[in-house]
Amino acid sequence: MSASTSQLSVTAYTFTQLLSSTRRGARLARLLAAEQLRAWPVPPSVTERAEQIVAELAANAALHGRVNGRDFRLTVALDATAGVLRIAVTDARGERIPSPPAECGTPLDTESGRGLLLVIALADRWGVEPYPPGGKTVWAECVCEILGPDPHSGRS
């Protein structure tokens, strides 16, 4: 009897990091996500969109989801088989559910309050999920074509 083994290729990538609920933590979230995405087989156009989405969701977590002494969590996951990049930011303020600016009456000419509008424009899907016992996760997904290995980039 002969047995054959199949080789499974890596089709899922995940990056998770706890960050302080501060402006500095939000900036670090964007920088870390950008660095990680450049190491994955994600097209540059999707990486640019994802960087902006991370920046907006992390800034919202630091500003609106902050609870003293509690961090926020950034998770970036790529399902290469499905061609979906998911960005999720979890904070400690589950009672503060975000709504798009048009639904909450935010004038479009104000200096702030349009971050979620940018997320909606850049992502293919987005949503909010409760994170028990008292937090929430705001997520956004981008559909993307996975890049093949590039022998010149050092990525495989």
CA distances from 86 to 53, 74, 104, 133 (A): 10, 11, 25, 23
Q: What is the pLDDT of residue 30?
A: 97
| Superfamily name and number for 12-143 | Histidine kinase-like ATPase, C-terminal domain (3.30.565.10)
Report the predicted TM-score, pTM, of the whole model to 2 decimal places: 0.82
Top-ranked range on mean pLDDT: pick from 14-28, 103-117, 142-156: 14-28
Kindly state the helix (H) or strand (E) to which residue 33 belongs, with its residue range.
Answer: helix 23-39
Instruction: Say yes or no to pLDDT of 13 above 90.
Output: yes
Residues 78, 62: Cα–Cα separation, whole Å: 24
CA distances from 126 to 6, 39, 72, 150 (A): 36, 24, 18, 31
DSSP-derived 3-state class of residue 134: coil
Q: What is the DSSP string of 37-76?
A: HHHTT--HHHHHHHHHHHHHHHHHHHHTS--TT--EEEEE
pLDDT digits (tens, 9 = 90+) for 75-127: 999 999 999 999 999 999 878 777 766 655 555 565 556 688 899 999 999 99
Any idea where the domains of the chain sit in the sequence?
A: 12-143
Q: Which residue has the tokens 């971050």?
A: 115
Please state, rounded to an integer, the average pLDDT across all residues of the chain.
Answer: 85
Chain-centroid distance, C-alpha 143: 13
Chain-centroid distance, C-alpha 88: 4
Cα dihedral 75, 80, 85, 90, rounded to 10, equals: -20
Q: What percent of the chain has pLDDT over 70?
A: 79
Residues 19, 55: Cα–Cα separation, whole Å: 13
Instruction: Say yes or no to pLDDT of 61 above 50.
Output: yes
